[in-house]
Amino acid sequence: MALDFELDGLGRGAHVLQAGWVEVSHGGIGLSTARSTDVRSLRQLDDQAVTVHGIGEQRARGGVAVRDIVDLFLREFAGKIIVAHGASVEREAISRISKAAFGIAIPVRTVCTLALERRLKPNLPGGDAYRLAATRQRYNLPPHEQHDALSDAIAAAELLLAQLSRMPPGTHLGAIETH
């Protein structure tokens, strides 16, 4: 499951404003599984982040409550590996909100396309070369709309397909899991 969170800041305590996800497998990406949702946050929004993501405070307040999101995860993500570009953000956010909701961090397995790219192409100069847009370009993937959770999730899923095409056929996701 490719997942992307848009957060209200860059810090450790940042809140999730929007989540987008889509299922991806060796066979491709099924767009019928694509979902995105705004997440309700009671926290005062960081003005700067709000501008970037285009999600105003009002819209954020109208979103799904964080608690419902956790329920949703348990249902939709059960047994699935989460794919994201820079997956630590998603992993940490999930553990943070599940801790807040149930008192325990849900264990998540992730495949990080960024980490994978560092493995596939270890010696690219500069950190920017590993950003999602730049990485996609190397695989001849089209430009994507950034700072939209679903669009970023699909972008990461497409990138994973491209990366898998460079690996031995039948490479299991478990083999490229990020720990």
Partner 1 sequence: MTSELASIETFLATVPPLDRLEAERLTALARKMSVRYFRAGQTILEAGSHNDHLFIIRSGAVELRLAGEELTARMAQGGIFAYPSLLRGGEVNNTTVALEDTLVYMLPAAQFHSLRDGSQEVREFFAENESERLRSAVRDLSQKRSNILEETSIAGLQRHRPPVSCHPQDRVAAAAMTMSEHDVSTLVVCENDRICGILTDKDLRNRVLAAGIDPDTPVHEVMTRDPVVLPETATLSEAMTRMTAGGFRHVPVVSSDGDLRSILSATDILAFLGDSAVDTGTKISKARSREALIAAARRIPEGFARMQASGFHASHVMRFTSALGEAVHRRAAQLAEIELGPPPCSYAVVVFGSLARGEQLVGSDQDNGLILSDDVDGAGEKYFDGLGEWLSDLLHECGFVYCNGGIMAKNAAQRLTLSGWRDRFDHWIDDPDEDSILRATIFFDMRAVSGEAELARHLHKHIRRKVKTNSLFLSYLARDAQRSRIPLGIFRNLVLEKSSDGQKVFDAKGQAILPIIDIARTLALAEGSPAVSTIERLEWLAEAGHMARSDADSLRDAMLFVNELRIAHHAEQLRSGKDPDNAIAPGELSPLERDYLKDSFSVIRDALESVKRNMAGGIV
Give the footprint of partner 1 on this chain (CB under 8 A).
27-32, 34-38, 64, 139-142, 144-145, 148, 150-151, 154, 157-158, 161-162, 164-166
Minimum CB distance to partner 1, residue 121 (Å): 14
**Smaller CB distance to partner 1: residue 92 or 144?**
144
Pull the structure tokens for residue 163: 């990366």
State the chain's maximal CA–CA distance in angstroms: 48
Q: Which amino acid is at 41?
A: S
Which stretches of 19-177 are DSSP H helices? 47-53, 57-61, 66-76, 87-102, 113-120, 132-138, 149-164
The tokens 């031995």 sit on which residue?
168
Minimum CB distance to partner 1, residue 162 (Å): 5
Minimum CB distance to partner 1, residue 31 (Å): 5
Radius of gyration of the chain (CA): 16
**Smaller CB distance to partner 1: residue 2 or 14?**
2
Alpha-carbon span 162 to 23, nearest angstrom: 15
Minimum CB distance to partner 1, residue 8 (Å): 18
**Smaller CB distance to partner 1: residue 44 or 140?**
140
**Smaller CB distance to partner 1: residue 2 or 114?**
2
